[in-house]
Amino acid sequence: MSSETVMKWIEAGKSIATDPTIKVLCPVCQKTYLQVTDISNENNPSEIERQMLCNKCGAFNALRLTR
Would you say residue 1 has pLDDT above 90? no
Question: pTM score, two decimals?
Answer: 0.86
Q: Closest Cα to residue 48, out of 20, 21, 23?
A: 20
Alpha-helix runs per DSSP H in the chain: 3-18
Tell me what the pLDDT averaged over the chain comes to.
95
Q: How many CB atoms lie within 10 A of CB 12?
A: 20
Biggest CA-to-CA distance, the chain: 36
What share of the chain in percent tops pLDDT 70? 100
Query: Under DSSP, is residue 40 helix (H, G, I), strand (E, B) or coil?
Result: strand
